[in-house]
Amino acid sequence: MITWIKIFLFGGSALITPEPIALGIEPVEVEFTHPVEALDDHASFNINVSEHVMSDHFQEFTKEVSAKFPEGCIIVLLFSNESDPVLFNQPSVTWNHPGDVSVNLKSADGVLTGKKYTSLRISSCRDIERSEITWYNYGKP
């Protein structure tokens, strides 16, 4: 119950990259301006992949994104001075509208709560010229 209250009061999203960044096979390091902390173990990242979506129909672009960015294609390692890195490599497709499509990455092992995370390392099997990364600090089991 306490977790749900925290999520309701403090949950939300934070843009990790104030400017779009280029992603590819070579890992990119991103240092956070302020540490992030997971309110529950379902926290996740959205990686914008809109430039790779040709369709504006939900079912078509969902298939398109899933085919272009399969499991293991985009990998995020989340770092803390307090624990081992957390691997995010479980993808799903999210969208706000056809021009704003992202790969949502979750950790199969979940995210440790109560830890301050200070940076991430991200790579993609497919080049993405302009992507924004957003941290989602809540989730549903």
Strand partners, 135: 14, 45
Do 55 and 61 contact (CB within 8 A), yes or no? yes
DSSP state of 81: S
The pLDDT of residue 5:
41
pLDDT tens-digit readout, 90-117: 999 988 776 788 999 999 999 998 899 9
Q: How far apart are CA 117 and CA 115, in angstroms?
A: 6
Nearest to 47 by CA among 102, 5, 3: 102
Q: How far apart are CA 38 and CA 61, in angstroms?
A: 30
Grouping H, G, I as helix, E, B as strand and the rest as coil, residue 100 is strand
The pLDDT of residue 94:
87
Sketch out the chain's domains with CATH numbers: 2-136 (2.60.120)
Grouping H, G, I as helix, E, B as strand and the rest as coil, residue 10 is helix
pTM of the prediction?
0.86
Q: How far apart are CA 43 and CA 114, in angstroms?
A: 12
pLDDT tens-digit readout, 27-70: 999 999 889 888 888 899 999 998 888 877 778 888 889 999 99
